Amino acid sequence: MTAPKADLLQGTLDMLVLKSLTLGPLHGFGIIQRIQQISDGLLTIEQGSLYPAVYRIEQQGWVSSKWGVTETGRKAKFYSLTKSGLKKLKAEEEGWERLSLAIGKVLQST
């Protein structure tokens, strides 16, 4: 039996993309795979959602891109985390921790 898929809260996709790039450059499909792998398959990102997010965060300067060749020999754009992207990720992680703590307190209340 497979676990149910989790829905992403609005605004979390950017953070997940940035986090997926902390280990090094990835192409779009690689980002999707890394997020699925790290979440044990609970998070599935569609290409139609990923690419607008990647373009948006690239315009913000949080990622940079350059063309390269995938492990299967296909030409693809590879995305890398920038210094400002790492700073943004840290801020997002701190915000997520505060939000998670607050929601947990509400859910645990009687």
Residue with tokens 């607050």: 102
pTM of the model: 0.85
Higher pLDDT, 1 or 28: 28
Does residue 56 have a pLDDT over 90? Answer: yes
**CA angle (41, 87, 55) in 5-degree steps:** 60
Left (φ > 0), alpha (ψ -120 to 50) or beta: where does 7 sit?
A: beta
In a domain, residue 1? The reply is: no
In a domain, residue 5? The reply is: no
pLDDT tens figures, 7-47: 565 578 999 999 999 999 999 999 999 999 999 999 989 99
Beta bridge partners of 68: 76
pLDDT tens figures, 77-102: 999 999 999 999 999 999 999 999 99
CA distance 53 to 19: 13
Domain that holds residue 94: 12-108
Does residue 1 have a pLDDT over 50? Answer: no
Which CATH number belongs to the domain containing residue 81 in this structure?
A: 1.10.10.10
In a domain, residue 66? The reply is: yes
Higher pLDDT, 65 or 4: 65
Amino acid 14: pLDDT: 93
Please give the tally of structural domains in the chain: 1
The closest of 4, 3, 7, 11 to 99, measured between CA atoms, is 11
Burial (CB count within 10 angstroms: exposed 0-12, middle 13-18, buried 19+), residue 71: exposed
